Each structure stands twice: as structure tokens, then as C-alpha cells.
Structure 1
């Protein structure tokens, strides 16, 4: 004070000294003045932080007098405040108005470490009384000596006993406490639960239209701070919490690096998400209702991390575990994500501004093995067709290409067969798939019945329940498709009849061929027996044989199918030595033509 007055001596009149930057304000100055005049000052957790900073500001050190205010406030902090859970919380809360003095004097650091140590200590050392939303008479946990025995009626201390007390702190101080708790070795799931508790208290909802700039800045700072202290372990916080935090981060324009980190965290446990969590409104300039691009990125992060996990630890699973799907009866993460994506596609498909490309890319992002049934994908496709009635035939086929008709259930096939929005080609594939499934089911039932009863009549009984299903399926099919299917069945029957006709004529010609071979052998034998028949016999035998083969070759080229050209030429006799070497060649040519 003397120095301040001396430095202001040049002023015309020195009757006022302004101390605008005094930490602790008028209350701290009044306590310091009382101390100077020997008036008793009651040090408490509520005034000690401000008084300690004010004493430092006014240089009340031991150089002037022993037992000065700095010494006394430091002693109170070290021996009283830091040994008490409640006092450490109160002092740290009061330090919010004392920056940067409280930081420079290490008050924040010491209180944070004291809180962290007590939060991580054995709760048996606490005589418990619940805090939070309780009457003021109930105090915070009281620390006792380790030798004192707890009361028999003492309630067990819950592991989250410290959540409510630390949640009253300002965000930067809360971050300091959580960081110190991490260093002490607290379980990561408890740290995550404390972060979620804090977010629930300070981020009760989304930013409303009436929120001011200051409010948005405060909430953006809270979101950024919480993202930075989430433990890196999977399941430290719930996927639902991460997605809500991501929703707020997009609305508050949080730093892109933190948003990317948050998206990767969601990808680690994407299979735990729900449809309501994924319906995040679009905040970009696009016209879609929901942020489909964000879900696409989350799915990509999930697939990358799944692939990394599978490739990094293949030896941890035994052969039997791999074939059992990880050793449990629960569906794999990819299957759960596939069902989630199908539900999401069904919901966003109602948006008329959703492009076909975005729908197709998201539907095809998962591998085929992730879906054992495509019913959910079919519902999404049908929903998209309803909302986009102006799609061309090519676009409809392109849309349906993401679905495998063979993976549809019987109920889905029944619905698809009556769905006039689907391309006709897809309906044909669906009906064919349904026909195969029914045939397989019939064959399986017949086999099972024969095995159990040994009676073929019993096996026939399993076929009867399937007939009404097929009849109902065909009756429910659109009329235009029924007509096309009837015409196709007529064409198939006609082809079957023609094939039977060709088979009959082939058998007839095969008989004639055998007859010709026998006649040729007799003629050859007769010519050999005559010995001196000369060249005339050979010529005549060769001519008769050639005439018979010309008739057969005419049939091979398409002639003689009606059998009208079968005449008496094959009754001619011929002989010759040269015929034996060429008798197999016409027969081989005939077989090739028939095949």
C-alpha cells in the first residue's frame, strides 16, 4: 500500500487507491485488513482460496513479519483443506473466480490431486452419507482414521459415490480431476460413467434456436473437453452417449479433428447403436433430412476396425470357436450392424431427396456374409420405391440389385410376388427362389417322414400343406405376370413334346442303323466267300452302303425327321475289301450330329 501511494504522489490529490485487480475482491481485502489490525479471522474452505491469493497480491510474506497471512493460509490449505474431501471440492469450486492466481499458486493442482487420491482410495475409509439431491442436513462423505471401525449399520459405499460432487466443478477443473484420477489408476468404466454423469448435468439437450452465442461457446467448450478425456478403451462409455455427443459436436461446429476421433470411437462399438441414435439431422448444405454421409463414415470405421481386429488376433480363437462364431450363441457384430443398417435404410428411404447412389452405397457397404436374410433390405427397397415412384425401369433394376432373392424368407417372397413396384425380372427371380425353397422343404419333409415311418404314404402327407401356399402365392401374383407365366409354361410343354419326338425318331434311326450294319456284314462275308467276284461286287456293295449313309446324313442336316425317306436302298447288297476300313467313320459322324 505504501508503494502504491508513493507511486501516485505526483497526483494532485491522493485520497483513493484503486485495487481493481485484487484477487478475491472486497471480501478478501476486508479479511486481510482485519488480520493486519489483529482482529481474529475465521479461516474456512469458502474464503481460504480468495484470502490466499489476496495475501500473495499484497506481498504479506515472512520477510515483513513472522506468521504473516501467506504462511497461515498455506498451513490451513495443506493441513485442513487437502485432508478433507468436502473442503477440497469447495476450494476448487471457489478457484473458478481466481484465475490465474489460483493456478500459479498451485491451488488447483493440489486440490485436484487430493480429490483424485480420495476418489481412488478404498471406500472402506469413508463413513458414508449420500450427497447430491438430498436435504442440506446430510453431509458429504467424511474421512476417518483407518483404525476406526465402521458402524454395523453403515451402508455399503457405491462405486459412483464421487460423481455428483465432482460434477459441480467447472469444465476445466473437472478435466483436471479426471486426468489426475486416470493417473491414479481408476477403472476406465468408472471414469466413463463419471463423464456421462457430468454431460447429463451440463448438456441437458440440444442447442435451441434461442440460445445465445455465449451459451453456444460454453457448450462447445464442454463438448470438446469431454471428447478429449474419454478413456481410449472400448465400452468405457456407451455408444448411445457417443452418438449424442457426436450430434451436438456437429451442431456446435466442434473442431474437425475431435469430430473424426469421436466418429472412430463410435465405429469401435457401432453394433451397440440403436436406430434412434443414428437418426441425426443433417447440418450440411445437403437437402436430405438425415445425415446419411455420417452414418456411412461410421460404418466404414466399424468395418476397418473389425478387419483390423480379425487380422491382428487370429490365433486367439481356437478352430472350434471360429466355427461357432466366437464361442457364444449371440449373433456377430456384423450381423447386428447389418440389421441396424437395414432399419436405418428403411427409415431414410422415405426422404424423397435421398439419391439412389447414396442408398445403394450404404446398402452394399457390408459384406454378403453379414446378412443371412435380406428381408430387412427388401423392406428398405420397397420403402424407397414407394417414396420415389418416378424411378425408371433401369433405376429400379439397379436398386433391386443390392438384394439377393435367394435370401428372402417365404413371407417376403409372398409379398414380393404381389409387389407391382418391383421389376418383372425381380418378381420372376423371387418366384423361382420360392419354388426352390418349397421343393427343398418338400424333399426334406418327405425324407424325414420316410425315415421315421418307413411308409411312402406318410411322406406324401407332408406335401399337402404346401399346396395351398403355392396356390395362394400364384393367386396373389399380379395378373400381368400370371399371363406371362402361363405363356412360358406352354412354351416349356411344347419344347418337352418336341424333345420326346426327337428322342423317338432317334431310337428308330438307331434301329435302322443296326440293320444296315448287319446287312453290310452279310454282304462283306458273301463277297469274301465268292473270292473271284472281281471289282464289280465291290462297287455294288460300296454303292449300297453310301446310299444308306446319305439318308442318315440328310437326317443329321434336318431332313427325314418324319421318316418318309426310309426306303429300300438299304436292302441292296454290296461287298468289298475297302469297306471294312471306313465302316466306323459314318457312325461317329452320325453320333456327333445327333449330339
Structure 2
């Protein structure tokens, strides 16, 4: 394990964290800065001027070309004779790294820290400071510091990887990013019980013990490390480096739920809209903060030396430098948000429940708004379909960003339901386990699938009720979404009736045919008593639907009366059979209890009968109103329906009398079966 005291630059065995050139060909007291220029404090006048960006370095040729192969080649290959001025605007690390490299060439002590090592390593490679020019040159020493010091430290690996954001593609080509990512992944997958280094989640007042004190420390005094201790530290990385770390962690076998939790933590830091109700809030400060090589990534009181045990919060930003007007800033913010979303989608573990469904839906909301690649949106929709039963109504209310006619993206929810149904069929059709009985497995799978469908049905009914208030919602979209689930998914259609009533209220100009078509998605037999009472008095429903509701309620009451009657009869028949088998006292008490139960059932039966009579009276009243509406002006006493039945009964009587007069022995019932066609013609 790594001792916290050995993670800083100071106090290391590696040259005490300092580099000193072995050859001192030019005596100097150091470098002095005057404005934007650096001067070497020596008696010999400078004969080489090097420009790195806006900074000028007044140097001497010999100490520089003796250790820098690139400068030597540039000077000796010049066609202008003696070259005294060189411009190095593409030097990785900029003026800060070149300053350290120049000091090394002059033999000035250079302190190596995690903040400057990556830039200095890339600058040494750019200047070609190899072993061919001098033994122990800058490439060798920086590479050794990276391999033996940085990669053995958790904090230094994070800092170096963060500092590589400005060093592309040099840091990639030199394998600094890969090595730091694998070092971080290896330490993140270590057993938390053995962790002794500092991390962000550690309490500020608790200092890590020294390596020598570990043997004496008792288990009760050891601070318990949570499994997500590494989330906050890796969340400060740029998205491409974060992807590299997560990919390396996956390879090393980290649990998928921890990987998903780290992805959600990263998204909450860089995409605030994912964890808040309002999407697209201003996160300009998150994207315009410019991370410096030592200030913004400092966790301790002195980041240059790496010493201290402070646990200050990490502060960092993305790699771009923001400049220009407000439109440019907005464009940059959108591009980086899109890049983050696309990268996070690509690294989400494929296992179900690795991330929450709410997170996926909010990520999908932002992806739709920012016009993410269609293939990635489809992949995200499939992921949502895998756990669609866990969604909430607020997550489904995704606005239509494609300027469609509706307020909400109804087509998106329709696709999510299709993915959910496909996933349910796939799971139900999967082969059972070898160690389980096939029938038991299929029953359990069927039960889980039905429960999920029931939860989705309730969710969809609530969603339909919400979107029904949109006056621009076409009837076809409402109808298709309401019929997307099978009938077995709904045991009660109260939620569907509520959605239909809301749609009728928001669209009062629907025709009679459209209202009937809308109500066909509802099964009147699945309505509760309260819903039936409301529907019977609902003037927005078609009259035919009201009659169906009353008829279904009448059937329910008839079935309830028949069921209670059977219970009553069974109780009276069974009672004397069991009385002689019981003792005297218990039989007496049992008989009293049974009488109470019978009285209770009789009271409930009378109540049901009373309700039945009331509903029957209401149905007759509605029938009379219906007869008045459809009756002809001359027919005031009876409707066409009742007159047709009267004609039918008169024809039946006449036919029976004629059969008797003819003396035919054929039964009347058989004769009636032969004559319905004539009766229908006469009625019509």
C-alpha cells in the first residue's frame, strides 16, 4: 500500500524531488524575469533568443545545444549563417515547461512535482533531450519520476492525468494518459479495507496514519472507507480521460453498479440538468473554467510540493479556452455537452439497473434537445425500455424539441413502450435455468412480467391524463398510445377513463364518431363503482357508452346478488352437519357466530338489492329519454324499438294460431325456427 507521507514530491528518495544537471559548463546564479522576458544571471552576454508564445528567453547557445537535439539541428541547419533567434510556439507545456528545461540545461535545480512533470516530459521529448547528447538527460529523469513516483501514488496519478488535458497529442503518444489511467483503475479496484492514502471523501480532520503506525493501530480505530471513495476524484477529469479510466476499471472487473454510480456522479458534476427538474440551466461556469497546471487541481495547501493532508475540493474545467461573444460561448457549451452525453452513453454498463431509469430518461431528454447522434439516442431508448417500469411521470414529460405539433414528445414515449414490450417478450421467451423446474421458472417469469406491465399501464394512464390537456394532441396519437399495451396489463380502467375524460374536456369540438372511437379503448366492465357513477352522469360521453356502463354495472350487481345467495344457501345447508361434531359449548357459540354472519350477509344483500333497484330506475329513465330523442313526431307513446317488439310478438301469436288450426303435430318451437327470415322482412 501507499503511505500518505510518501505521495508528495518533497521527502522522496528520488533526488529529493529535484533535478540537477551533472555538468556545469556555465556558471550562473539563476534566472531572472523582467516582464515577459527571462534573463540568465551571468557575466557572458546571451547569444540566443528563444520565443515561446508571448515569453522571450535570452539564453546562450552552447548549454542549450549540448542537451537539446532539436535546437542544435535548427541552428546548424539554418541557411542564413549564424542563427540567433528561434520561435517555438508549438512546444508542449508552453513557456512554463521550457523555463524548467532551460534551467536544467544550465544546471539550475528543478523541482519535480505532479503538476509540472507531464509538461516537462513532453517538452523534453519535443526538444529531443536524449541520452545520446548527455547521460542522465531530461527525458530519462522525467520518465523515471513518472514511473517510480507518480504511478505509485493515487493523488499524483489524478493530478498528472488532469494536467495532460493541454498536452494532446504528446501525452497520448508518450503513453502518459494510458499509464495514469491504468494506475488509477488498479487503485480504484483495490480492497477499500487496505486503503491508506488520502482521497476526497475522507473527513478533513482525520489524517492518514504513517506506514510504521499501521501495525500498532487497532481495527476499531481504523476509518472505514466506502466503496465509492474514488468517485469524486475521477469526476474532475475531462470526459475523454474519464472514459479511459472507466474503460480500464471495467477490464479489471469492477462491479457494474459501482461503475454506473460513478457515471451518474460525473454527470451530476458536468451536466446539472440531469439531476434537476429544469434542463438546460446555465452551466457556463462549469465549462469556461480554465484549469491551470498547479492552481486548480491542488488538493493540498501546497500543491507544488504535494505535501500536506488537506482534502480541499477539486476544481477544474474542460480543455477549451473560451473567447468571443455570447453566441460563441453558447455554441461551445452545446458542443461540449453533446460530447459528454455521447461519451457517457457509450460507457454505461450493459447490465440492467446499472444506472437508474430516472437518470436514463433525463439523459435522453438532454440528448434530444442537443441533437445527439440518432444511433446513440436509439441505444439510450433501448436502455430505458429495459427498466421502463421504474420510470416516473415527471421523467416522461419530455418536451418536443423537434418543433412538432404537440407539446410533449409522445412519439418518444411510444417508442419506449415498444422497446419495453420487446424486452418483456425476450425475457419471457428465454430458456429456463438448468437447476430450476421449467414450469416454476415460467410461472415466476410470467408473474414478474405481468407486474411490470401493470406498473407500466398505470404510468401510461397517468401520462395520457397529463398530455390529454394539450389541445394540439391528435386523437390518433392518443388512441395509439392507449392501445399499445395488451388488455391483460390493466385490471382496472379507471386511469384510462380519467384520461379519456380529460381529453374530451380539452377537445369539446370532437364529433360523435370521434368520441365513440375514443371511448372504444376503454372496457366498461373494468370500471370501479365510483368510476361508473361518474360516467353515468358524464355529459361528455356518448349516450351509447353511458348505457354500456349502466349495463355492465347491472351485470356486476346481479353477479354479486347471485354470489351472496349461494353463500347464504351454503351456510344454511352446512350448518347442521358440523354442529353435532363440536362440544356443547363450542357448538352453541359457533351457531351464534354463524347467525351473526347470516344476518350480516342478509343486510349486505338488501343493500345491494336497493342499489340495483336505483340503478334500474335510472336506466329506465335514460331509456325513456332515449326513446323521446329517437321517436318520430307522430309517435308519442312508444319508440320504434318497442313497436318493433310488439309487431314481432303479434306475428308470433298469429303464426301459432295458424299452426293449431292446420292440425300440425310439429312442435311450435321448431316452426318458430323456420320463420325468422319472414319475421325480419316484415319488421324491416
Does residue 1:224 correspond to 2:342, yes or no?
A: yes
Aligned: 1:175 with 2:248: no
> What's the C-alpha RMSD, in Å, of the aligned pairs?
3.5
1:592 aligns with 2:670: yes
Query: How far apart are 1:460 and its partner, in Å?
Result: 3.6
1:282 matched to 2:282? The reply is no
1:128–1:76 CA distance, 2 compared to 1 (3 A):
closer
User: How big is the shift at 1:502?
Assistant: 11
Residue 305 of structure 1 pairs with residue 378 of structure 2: no
- The 5 Å alignment of 1:172-571 reads 172-205=240-273, 206-208=279-281, 212-313=330-431, 318-320=438-440, 322-323=442-443, 332-452=451-571, 459-467=601-609, 469-470=611-612, 483-484=625-626, 556=655, 559=658
Higher alpha-carbon deviation: 437-446 or 16-25: 437-446
Equivalent residues of 1:417, 1:430 under 8 A apart: yes
Q: Distance in 1 between matches of 2:361 and 2:378?
A: 12
Alignment-derived partner of residue 76 in structure 2 = 6
Q: Does 1:116 align with 2:176?
A: no
> Aligned partners of 1:499, 1:460: CA distance in 2, in Å?
41
Cα distance, 1:498 vs structure 2: 10
In structure 2, the residue matched to 1:20 is: 89
Mark the structure with the bigger radius of gyration.
1
The 10-residue stretch of structure 1 (142-151 or 443-452) with the greater mean CA deviation from structure 2 = 142-151
Q: How many angstroms apart in 1 are the aligned matches of 2:171 and 2:145?
A: 15
Which residue is equivalent to 2:316?
A: none
The separation in 2 between residues aligned to 1:144 and 1:216, in whole angstroms, is 48
Which residue number corresponds to residue 550 of structure 1?
none
Is the CA contact (8 Å cut-off) linking 1:393 and 1:423 kept in structure 2? yes
Taking the aligned partners of 1:32 and 1:373, their CA distance within structure 2 comes to 77
Q: State the shift of 1:462 in Å.
A: 2.1
Structure 1: distance between partners of 2:280 and 2:262: 23
Q: Deviations over 1:279-303 (max 9, x none)?
A: 0000113120000000000100111
C-alpha separation in 2, matches of 1:286 and 1:279: 15
Conserved 8 A contact 1:396-1:423: yes
Aligned ranges for residues 50-89 of structure 1 at < 5 Å? 50-89=119-158
- Contact 1:352 1:387 (8 Å CA) reproduced: yes
Change (3 A) 1:389 1:498: closer
Rounded Cα–Cα distance in structure 1 between residues aligned with 2:114 and 2:128: 22
Secondary structure at the aligned position of 1:17 is classed as strand
1:496 and 1:124, CA in 2 relative to 1: closer, same or farther beyond 3 A?
A: same
Give the equivalent residue in structure 1 for 2:118: 49
Task: Using the TM superposition, give the Cα deviation of residue 249 of structure 1 relative to its aligned residue in structure 2, in angstroms.
Answer: 0.6
Distance 1:187 1:384 in 2: 46
For residues 440-497 of structure 1, what are the alpha-carbon distances to aligned partners after superposition, in whole Å with 9 as ceiling and x for unaligned?
A: 2222233334444667876542222224544665788897566338999998999999
1:235-288 CA-partner distances (Å, limit 9, x unpaired): 111111111111111111111111111111111111111000100000113120
Contact in 1 for aligned 2:155/2:199 (Cα 8 Å): no
- Give the number of equivalent residue pairs: 520
Cα distance change on mapping 1:183 and 1:325 into 2, 3 Å: closer
Separation in 2, partners of 1:447, 1:391: 46
8 A contact 1:275–1:344 mirrored in 2 = yes
CA distance in 2 between partners of 1:590 and 1:462 (Å): 43
Instruction: Specify whether residues 476 and 84 from structure 1 end up closer, same or farther in structure 2 by C-alpha distance, changes over 3 A only.
Output: farther
- Secondary structure at 1:259's aligned position in 2? helix
Secondary structure of residue in 2 paired with 1:65:
coil
Give deviations 1:93-130, integer Å, cap 9, x for gaps.
00011111100000000000000000011112212655
User: Which one has a larger percent helix, Structure 1 or Structure 2?
Assistant: 1
Which string of whole-angstrom CA distances, capped at 9 and with x for unpartnered residues, describes residues 39-98 of structure 1?
Answer: 221111111111111111111111111111111111111111101101100000000111
2:464 and 2:645 map into 1 onto residues whose CA distance is: 45
What 5-or-longer segments of structure 1 have no aligned partner? 506-554, 571-585
Verify the 8 A CA contact 1:195 1:226 in the aligned structure 2: yes
8 Å contact from structure 1 (residues 85, 143) kept in 2: no
* Secondary structure, counterpart of 1:165 in structure 2: helix
Conservation of the 8 A alpha-carbon contact between 1:449 and 1:458: no
Between the aligned partners of 1:291 and 1:317, the Cα distance in structure 2 is 43
Indicate the residue corresponding to 1:552 in structure 2: none
- Aligned residue number for residue 533 of structure 1: none
Cα distance change on mapping 1:450 and 1:268 into 2, 3 Å: same
CA positional deviation for 1:192: 0.4
Distance in 1 (alpha carbons) for counterparts of 2:461 and 2:364: 21
Q: CA deviation at 1:411?
A: 1.0
Q: 1:547 corresponds to which residue?
A: none
Deviation string for 1:128-174 (max 9, x for gaps)?
A: 65515975x877x8996998575531221111000000000000000
3-state SS in 2 of match to 1:233 = coil
Following superposition, the deviation at residue 366 of structure 1 comes to 0.7
Residue deviations 1:504-555 (CA, integer Å, cap 9, x gap)? x8xxxxxxxxxxxxxxxxxxxxxxxxxxxxxxxxxxxxxxxxxxxxxxxxx6
Change (3 A) 1:262 1:145: farther
Give, in whole Å, the separation in 2 of the partners of 1:342 and 1:317.
Answer: 36
Partner of 1:107: 176
